[in-house]
Structure 1
Amino acid sequence: MMSRILFVFFLFLSLISCDSASKREKEIEKIPLDFKIVRFDKLFAEASPQSLPQLKEDYPYLFPKQFADSVWINKMKDTIQLEINREVAKKYPDFSETEDEFYSLFQHVKYYFPEFAVPDVLTITSEVDYKNKTIYTGDYLFVSLDTYLGEDHKFYIGIVEYFKRNFTKDQIVPDAANSIAEKYVPRAKARTFLANMIYYGKLLYLKDIWLPKQSKWRKIGYTQEQWEFAENNEEMVWRYFVDNELIFDTDSNLAPRFLYPAPFSKFYLSLDAETPDRLGQYIGWQMVKSYMDKNEVSIKQMLNTDAEIIFNNANYKPKK
């Protein structure tokens, strides 16, 4: 009898939560926005030495003054740049679908952070600078389209697989959301593994609420299989962290083992090769979610809350 009552109670809570989320999404859909998508990659590809002065006048922030015009003219003629132009034009003849995704992303950021100034989005090429795929400055959001041509593209030969798997079109908006989130999440003050886990957890929490229609694995940059491993082994991962007293450890090697992109997470166990990388980020995300579910705090308060306070009040219990 008691189990039936509990089932009905939790079903009731679930229905209330779903109804609340639906109302919130309807409110978000009404938020008006005014921004532009500028295909600067196309503008530069079609430019000539004669039209360069006008291009520089229109987009001065893309032409650092320390570089002479000859640098840009030579780039226009460069065979590698010309090939990049062709490949990007072939992959992205139209950008309207991604523009709609940006519109939704910006609406969600604006809803949770009303002071957010919606940036113009400029698509560029960067000679495959995959360490800076998206850059958010406040006024502008830059997207390097030559880093989103598909993981098997010939330009990416020699780049490690764990980077290449996210060189895809459907990763553009999650990457952009991460660049924006970095402006709102203070860097970890402490050097502990916990502080850094919570830092990434806060970033992922923002991406989660800003991109409700995106798959969970895209938000963290996993494949679906990697996500399923993380979900199915959450308790094992957390137990390893606790049993090996890593939570408050300040060892700098913990970041490359569990927080940074890598072929896999490094438990120094035989199963390592089967694990996804960045499992510390995943645990930090779940901890922040637990904290927000169980405490009456605003998102802005959470973002400025110390990692240990979040840890102590999250009552985090990993899935079994």
Structure 2
Amino acid sequence: MKIITKIGFLLLISVFVWSCKQEEASDPDVSNVQVQVNIQRLDQELFACKTKNDLLAFLQKNQSFVNTYFQAPPEAFESLAQKLLVLVTNPNLRAFYEQSQQANFYGNQVLETDFKEAFQHLKYYYPSFKEPKIYTIFTGFLGQGALPNPELQVSDSTIIIGLDYFMGKKGKYLPDVYDYQIKKVSPQAIVPQAILQLSSRYNATNPQDKSLLAEMIWYGKSYVFGKTMLPSKSDSLFLGYTGEQLAATYDNQSVVWAYFIDNKLLYSTQDPVKGKYIGERPSTPEIGAACPGGIGRWLGFRIVSKYYYEDEKLTIQDLMKNPDAQKVFEASKYKGLPDDE
């Protein structure tokens, strides 16, 4: 059996119904929750440099950031400054950077607005939450293939964003990603992807459970957490699916579910098997040519959503601290069917 991509008004209605049901869980009023969104625009500081001495001063001033992001200790600043000088004086890269400063990219308050929404919800649900400091940088993909996670680094105390990696298909240049990954590298995806990473600090797991189901539930909890902290954002910005893929997958979930059950996948502990359904892939051809990759993550989202949104007494804190994937699955009563209308 194969997923058949369907485009049309009726199909989109099915996803609209699902999204509305998710939103039925009332979003709290967080307007009075006081948070600080501290964004240090190092991209602007970097491109204000004109000489090697300017760059050395920039590196010295931001030593902690440079050590974390560039993996460069002070003794490496001379060579790093030389590399950066070549970049910031390159006309093509400067044009790319200047595009990032336009209003429809990062020359507006979109990051501040999105992080404020996320931080207010986080502090509402977790009063001890402390807002991390946010740094932005722009290097023309200098770190791609050489540095760990040059596009986005998230910890309890800092969030580092490589803006050049999130210019989307309208950017002058794209990072080295496949077409199916474009959705995750748009400007609108930065904060949703950052909050997904941040969710791991709240996402309890059972380290003894190595099953595919456990990983599916872990991702599902992360996505529900992200949607709870950023209720204004669409599912596509968390999952990386297009609207068409979301619609077709929702409409054909009984096919997907039947494949998982018929092939006894839920309790597989084999890494190659799990990788087929959890890992980054353009599609899942085992199920059908039009079935998107990471379908196990999507199924986990469906299972956890059904469990969370249909139990009015269940809080996001309760969900995230529950390490028992099997109990979440059983309580969800998910059977591969659309939500009741």
The Cα offsets for residues 239-284 of structure 1, whole Å up to 9 and x where unpaired, read as 21112111111121233311122110232x5xx2211111111111
Q: Shift in Å at residue 37 of structure 1? A: 1.4
In structure 1, C-alpha distance between the alignment counterparts of 2:272 and 2:108, rounded to whole Å: 41
Q: Shift in Å at residue 151 of structure 1? A: 2.5
CA contact 2:277–2:293 (8 Å) conserved in 1 = yes
State how 1:9-28 maps to structure 2 within 5 Å: 18=24, 21=26, 24=28, 26=29, 28=30
Partner of 2:279: 260
State how 1:1-320 maps to structure 2 within 5 Å: 18=24, 21=26, 24=28, 26=29, 28-47=30-49, 48-52=51-55, 54-64=57-67, 65=73, 67-79=75-87, 82=90, 83-93=92-102, 94-125=107-138, 127-128=140-141, 129=144, 131-151=149-169, 153=171, 155-156=173-174, 159-186=177-204, 189=207, 190-267=209-286, 269=287, 272-292=288-308, 293-294=310-311, 296-305=313-322, 306-320=324-338
TM-score (norm 2): 0.79
In structure 1, C-alpha distance between the alignment counterparts of 2:307 and 2:89, rounded to whole Å: 48
In structure 2, C-alpha distance between the alignment counterparts of 1:73 and 1:132, rounded to whole Å: 18
4+ long deviations beyond 6 Å? none
In structure 2, C-alpha distance between the alignment counterparts of 1:300 and 1:102, rounded to whole Å: 20
Amino acid at match of 2:34: P
Structure ranking higher on relative contact order (CA contacts 8 Å, 6+ apart) = 2
Q: Shift in Å at residue 142 of structure 1? A: 0.9
Q: Shift in Å at residue 231 of structure 1? A: 0.9
TM-score (norm 1): 0.84
Is the alpha carbon distance of 1:88 and 1:255 closer, same or farther for their aligned partners in structure 2, counting shifts above 3 Å?
farther
Q: Shift in Å at residue 159 of structure 1? A: 3.3
Q: Shift in Å at residue 127 of structure 1? A: 4.6
Gaps of 5+ in 2: 1-19, 68-72
In structure 2, C-alpha distance between the alignment counterparts of 1:80 and 1:159, rounded to whole Å: 23
- Secondary structure of the residue aligned to 2:122 is helix
In structure 1, C-alpha distance between the alignment counterparts of 2:259 and 2:317, rounded to whole Å: 31
RMSD between aligned residues = 2.6
In structure 2, C-alpha distance between the alignment counterparts of 1:316 and 1:309, rounded to whole Å: 12
In structure 2, C-alpha distance between the alignment counterparts of 1:159 and 1:302, rounded to whole Å: 33
Identity %: 22
The Cα offsets for residues 133-174 of structure 1, whole Å up to 9 and x where unpaired, read as 221122211111110122264533763212234221111121
Gaps of 5+ in 1: 1-13
Is the alpha carbon distance of 1:315 and 1:159 closer, same or farther for their aligned partners in structure 2, counting shifts above 3 Å?
closer
- Secondary structure of the residue aligned to 1:253 is helix
In structure 2, C-alpha distance between the alignment counterparts of 1:163 and 1:31, rounded to whole Å: 34
